[in-house]
A and B are shown apart, each in its own frame.
Chain A
Amino acid sequence: MSAVGERSTTDASGRGAAFHSPPAGAGALVVEPTLFERSRPGRRAVRFPAASEAARTAAASQPPIPDAARRTAPLRLPEVSELELVRHFNRLSRLNHAIDIDFYPLGSCTMKYNPKLNEWAARLPGLSGSHPLDPGPLSQGSLELQWLLAELLREIGGFAVVSLQPAAGAHGELTGMLMTRAFHRSRGEGDQRRVVLVPDSAHGTNPATASMVGFTTRTVPSNARGGIDLDALRGALGPDTAALMITNPSTLGIFEDQIDDVLSAVQAAGAIAYMDGANLNAILGRFRAGEAGFDVMHFNLHKTFSTPHGGGGPGAGPIGVSPRLAPFLPAPLPQLVEGDPATVLANAWSGRSTPDARFALEAPGVRPTAIGQVRTFGGNFGMHLRAYAYIRANGAAGLRQVTDDAVLAANYVRVRLGDAYELPFDRICKHEVVFSARRQKREHGVSALDIAKAILDEGIHPPTIYFPLIVEEALMIEPTETETRETLDRFVAVMRDIADRSARDPEAVRQAPRTTPVGRLDEATAARQPDLGWPFPEADRTEATLGG
């Protein structure tokens, strides 16, 4: 690691080590061959026991798999020893940046520490081995866990009911929009209410989700303070409005301080108020969307509640709803069917089971108003149990502290970098702060992308860039609550140094990154001539074709 540190071009951090940088003299590690290149016929790792003679004899009396259904093409899976497999993936892993390696201030993604305790819990055989169709008597623990988590999320969001079924934030949005439509249909307004209003600062999923449900979207502009333009909103609301989808705090990291007026206007128009809960980390214990008047919100368990992002999933996107949307929730919901809810909760909070409590999934079809099922089984249970462990570890006090420290960290970065980069909206922020590199771009030809690449050379993951779309050359920084002040100071130093270098030697910044396993990749060619899978040798293909 010291050799890597020497490659650092700045002393700003005090420890510029970049874990993912190629170790000196180990260039061969940088490009790891694919599994297909490592493969040699006849090598293998795992073997399975052959069926017994008795089993084969008995099976012979049964109809075999017909020849016509059998595979005709060779199956060219990799053939590798277990050690080669381990080395392959371990070497690949070293090419990744990750939270467990260094700072990851990727805005709107809440890259906080993922506690190891949760991973321990996920590997408990009683939970990981629970089959989703296990009859009730076998799955009381899984059902109780889901019921308890739903109760906790209900309290956190201030909602009437929570469904854990959606598998991701975008999936929660889809569920919420389907429920929105079902609600309007139930009132005979399904054909009339076809428009979903989305602020111009919204994440791209919001309009994409509305489209998937057959709604059209109309964009509402932001005002000069980074909030929603209330007059424009009032002008856009009408008898054709199905819903407003709003992220609060917004993608600018700003709490919508006219939220009261926004909600009144939406309610007066007979529309549904949807809150994108992506930024919930900023408001735990301070603002409860359901209590404030929102009809529906999705939770991102992989953001706020610390489940690992996994390189892009799996996440989980439970939704909470107001009483008027509850009938439309996806089925089946886990329910307490015998026993007193207050007793069950009190016992669980004291670590006790309630002997006469019984949990069950709703039977299919029992709630005809439900929008249906949005995925198989009850959702990403593996994420549910991690989130449950996290919420229980923190408790009310801990979750309040999470929010306080997350907001403290973002504001600290805001003031420490405010003179180095432009702040389009210079006011108290919540969990994240959005800077603009437009000055660097205009004066020195150094873009947000260049700055991001220069950050890579310091072993830190860059902020989200070019989002939200309404900020030119956006740098969206979300430090989270789990980073020390030293880490924040080091990041500030790196960012200031890059701002200095952008003025002094812009070309060098434009040449970044230099210490990463690969340099900037040719994305244009990747899109123009897509290479999306391993090209097996043509001889194989021909043989395969003949085989058919």
Chain B
Amino acid sequence: MTYSPHTDADRVAMLGAIGVASVDDLFADIPESVRATRFDLPSPLTEQEVRAELSRLAGRNRIPEVSFLGAGAYRRLIPAVVDEVVGRAEFATAYTPYQPEVSQGTLQSIYEFQSLVCELTGMEVASASHYDGATATAEGALMACRLTGRHRVAVSRTVHPQVRRVLETYCSGPGVEVVEVRADLSEAGSGLTDLSAVGSLVGGDVACLIVQEPNFFGLLEPMSELAAAAHAAGALVVTLVDPVSLALLEAPGRYGADIVTAEGQQLGIPLAFGGPYLGLMAARMSAVRQLPGRLVGATRDAAGRRGYVLTLQAREQHIRREKAASNICTNQALCALAATAYLSAVGPQGLREAAERSTIQARHLVATLETAGIASRRFTAPYFNEVALRLADAGARHAELLEQSILAGLVIGPEYPELPDTLLLATTELTTDEDIRRLADALGAAS
């Protein structure tokens, strides 16, 4: 199957206009010595066959009937209207709004997205989006280095392990040192970033402290105290947040965060085995010239009509080249559109309902398992909608439950060797009482 419209007659006419005998003549500039000697790909398929093949692969996946898996990507309701909006070809098949006169749809939607990110986070300026929460966080750390002139960043051990790995990778580029801030992960520990360890960063020439709220274990960090301690060390505060949690939790701008990042997948974007997702990034207006990524601004045309343009592009690679704030070109515009549509579809009430139901079901889950004597909370700090539970023989039990189409969250031992026999379970608004009962029954029966 090919999507080319040309008939043989078209091709002949075009070759004639060009004045060559065959299309091969148009490739005469590729030296013989480097021409491809093979191109061994399968035969073309018809639509029917492509459908069968993709259905085959989709059928090889197993979507569990009951899932408590989160750990950075969450199964939430995607309102039908969101998929309808992002499916509009006028959005999906456009590109970067280089010609603002015919890109006002994309530009205005990004302006609205930036506004929503500022409102959620309590910050003054937000970028048009990044690849995902982790790359936004890593870019935030590098931005903190530019703002402070320092070359060391501190990251809490309670930040998502994959985010920390991405941070390490990004920082290895310019040679920024990453130091880990320990957390209290001891038996009956809080599960939180060690405040005294943050205090000891004073004099350490640290550009920023990176913390996650709620942290990887779903726990609420003492953000104001952490921010104050980091600021006392002359460091900025980079906070990786859960955007849904911000319906209930304090806006980071109010506890002293200087740069706020988030993984926006929960805002109307499918799990899709890890991407495309959506990196959110917001900061203070005073730092805007060091903010990486595209920005859309409102302006007027000669007739006084309001319109939107890409702006402050002097920060960007296509103008600044080697002196740019980042090499990032694209944002995740269609994912940002999904988030914008999602946030306006649910509105302030809906986001609160989703967040509240998620937190109630988490407590329902913990209470059910604790009352039955099946599992207990691994940490003492208050939690949001995800919780680390201690369970004897967690790995084996987790595998057993899969046989019953129950996914009991994530076994976190491989990422945290100091936390054996621990499961990380997430609940969302989609978690039903029946889901919790099935998990409890299955674990109870197996114990």
Q: What are the residues of chain A within 8 A of B277 when measuring CB–CB?
A: 376-377
Which of these binds chain B: A3-11, A395-403, A435-443, A494-502?
A395-403
B81 to chain A, nearest CB (A): 6
B286 to chain A, nearest CB (A): 12
B122, CB-defined interface residue at 8 Å: yes
Which of these binds chain A: B34-42, B182-190, B193-201, B203-211?
B34-42
Contact of A204 among B42, B75, B317 (CB under 8 A): B317
Contact of B366 among A62, A306, A392 (CB under 8 A): A62
Residue on B nearest A174 in the bound complex, by CB = B327
Q: What are the residues of chain A within 8 A of B60 when measuring CB–CB?
A: 126, 140-141, 144, 353
A207 to chain B, nearest CB (A): 4
Kindly list 20 other residue pairs between chains A and B, CB separation below 8 angstroms, not including A131-B273, A393-B50.
A34-B112, A47-B353, A51-B356, A59-B361, A72-B250, A75-B352, A85-B344, A92-B108, A98-B89, A138-B402, A170-B327, A171-B135, A259-B31, A292-B34, A364-B414, A377-B72, A381-B272, A397-B2, A526-B297, A531-B297
Q: Assess A382 versus B302: contact at CB under 8 Å? Given A34-B112, A257-B31.
A: no
A71, CB-defined interface residue at 8 Å: yes
Compute the total of residue contacts between A and B using a CB distance below 8 Å.
726
A134, CB-defined interface residue at 8 Å: yes
B47–A117 CB distance below 8 A: yes
Q: What are the residues of chain A within 8 A of B308 when measuring CB–CB?
A: 521
A48–B354 CB distance below 8 A: yes
Scan A490-532; emit 1 where CB is below 8 A from any B CB, else 0.
0000000000000000000000010011111111011100111
A533 to chain B, nearest CB (A): 4
Q: Provide a sorted-by-A list of 12 A–B residue pairs whose CB atoms are within 8 angstroms.
A: A46-B77, A48-B357, A55-B360, A174-B173, A260-B34, A311-B97, A376-B133, A408-B15, A409-B14, A481-B3, A517-B307, A532-B111
List residues 53-112 of chain B with CB under 8 A from any CB of chain A. Answer: 53-64, 67, 69, 71-73, 75, 77, 79, 81, 83-85, 87-106, 108-112
Which of these binds chain B: A228-236, A265-273, A312-320?
A312-320
Contact of A311 among B29, B47, B96, B321 (CB under 8 A): B96
B330, CB-defined interface residue at 8 Å: yes
A97 and B283 CA atoms in complex are apart in Å by: 31
B388, CB-defined interface residue at 8 Å: no
Q: Assess A95 versus B329: contact at CB under 8 Å? Given A127-B61, A131-B271.
A: no
A359 to chain B, nearest CB (A): 9
List residues 278-319 of chain B with CB under 8 A from any CB of chain A. Answer: 288, 294-303, 305-309, 311-314, 316-319
A517–B104 CB distance below 8 A: yes
A73 and B55 CA atoms in complex are apart in Å by: 47
Contact of B317 among A158, A171, A205 (CB under 8 A): A205
Residue on B nearest A535 in the bound complex, by CB = B115
B51–A50 CB distance below 8 A: no
Chain A contributes a number of interface residues (CB within 8 A of B) equal to 221
Chain B contributes a number of interface residues (CB within 8 A of A) equal to 218
B53, B93, B297, B402 pick with most chain A CB within 10 angstroms: B93
A44 and B101 CA atoms in complex are apart in Å by: 31
A89 and B272 CA atoms in complex are apart in Å by: 24
B229, CB-defined interface residue at 8 Å: no
A10 to chain B, nearest CB (A): 17
A222 and B321 CA atoms in complex are apart in Å by: 18
Q: What are the residues of chain B within 8 A of A94 when measuring CB–CB?
A: 90, 105
B55–A133 CB distance below 8 A: no
A400–B39 CB distance below 8 A: yes
Q: What are the residues of chain A within 8 A of B42 when measuring CB–CB?
A: 349, 392, 395-396
Contact of B44 among A209, A309, A398, A521 (CB under 8 A): A398
A374, CB-defined interface residue at 8 Å: yes
